[in-house]
Amino acid sequence: MRVSGVLRVLALIFTLVTTLIFIRTYMSFNMKSIRLLRWLAGSAPKETRVVKTKCGLSKSCPANFFAFKIYSGAANVVGPSMCFEDHTIMSSVKNNVGRGLNIVLVNGTTGTVLRQSTFDMYSGDPKLLVKFLTEISKGMLVLVASYDDPGTKMNDEIRKLFSNLGSSYAKQLGFRDSWVFLGAKDLKDKSPFEQYLKNDPDTNKYEGWPELLELEGCVPQKMY
Ligand SMILES: *[C@@H]1O[C@H](CO)[C@@H](O)[C@H](O)[C@H]1NC(C)=O
């Protein structure tokens, strides 16, 4: 009991610290961000009543933050889904997801969806993804969800482009791995918003695929 309590506190501290790093690198350091940092350091009050949160998040985001939730695909059966500010942008129901990598670009200041696309990483042309990633400009948020196989057509150029958006795991992404990620062009450090599961026959939840991943959080609105 005690140990799990300590672990939970450590996990909370880790989350806070990574969030602070994200804010520090993502925003210019002005009075507004100092107030946000104070708010975070003071920690959120405990909610007792049930609140309907954007994207069904486990807790609401503060003002000046965008809510997001990303699910990777489950094996090759259920497609991924991506929600931003309570708006489902890509999902199986919307019939706009595909095998490989599904990517949404959002204006980091306004939260407006700029582009969305799906790239077949099993048999598609990786040059299309290189072009898409190269055209991402400063001030955009990038949401990524894998489905079925994100790895076969992966190459060093693409790995580097994702690493430059703040990804820690793009460099090892392989055949049928699960991956969810939110990054940005102007991050100076690694994004705290990323999860990765390797395709491993010993630990796979489904036959041939690891478990689906869920990533949710509050990302600071970019201010100038
Ligand atoms: C985001 O929207 C603002 C306001 O319309 C605009 O000034 C800015 O250039 C946009 N940024 C990107 C990266 O599209």
pTM for this prediction = 0.78
Distance CA 203, CA 209 (A): 9
Distance CA 178, CA 199 (A): 7
**What does pLDDT average to over the chain?**
87
CA of 221 to the centre of ligand 1 (A): 12
Amino acid at 70: I
Ligand 1 pocket, Cβ-based, cut-off 6 angstroms: 107, 109-110, 114, 137, 139-140
Spatial CA neighbour of 155 closest among 182, 180, 119: 119
* pLDDT(39) > 70: no
Given a contact cutoff of 8 angstroms between Cβ atoms, the answer to whether 194 and 180 are in contact is yes
CA of 131 to the centre of ligand 1 (A): 21
Atom 10 (ligand 1) nearest CA? 107
13-27, 40-54, 94-108, range with the lowest pLDDT? 40-54
74-88, 105-119, 129-143, 144-158, range with the lowest pLDDT? 74-88
